[in-house]
Amino acid sequence: MTPWEVVAVLVAGVAAGGINAVVGSGSLITFPTLLALGYPPIVANVSNNVGLVAGGVTGVLGYRDELRGQRQRLLRLGAASVLGSLAGALLLLQLPARAFQVIVPVLIALACVLVVVQPRLNAWLSQRQGTPHPHGGPWLWLGVFGAGVYGGYFGAAQGVVLIGLLGIFLEEHLQRVNAAKNMLSLLVNSTAAVVFVLIAPVDWWAVLLVSLGSMVGGFLGARVGRRLPARVLRAVIVCVGIVAIIKLVYG
Q: CA-CA distance, 81 to 143, in Å (whole number)?
A: 9
Handedness of CA 38, 152, 242, 6 (dihedral sign): negative
pLDDT tens digit string along 119-150?
Answer: 666 566 555 555 556 667 888 999 999 999 98
pTM of the model: 0.82
Residue 228 predicted with pLDDT over 90: no
Query: What pLDDT score does 149 carry?
Result: 92
Q: Name the DSSP class of 132.
A: P
Tell me the pLDDT of the chain averaged across its residues. Answer: 83
pLDDT digit string, tens, across residues 58-91? 999 999 999 998 999 999 999 999 999 999 988 8
| Per-residue model confidence (pLDDT) at position 214 | 95
- Reply yes or no on whether the pLDDT at 19 is more than 70: yes
Mean pLDDT of 236-244: 72
Stretch 184-193: mean pLDDT, rounded? 94
Maximal CA-CA distance, the chain: 60
Which one has a higher pLDDT value, 213 or 201?
Answer: 213
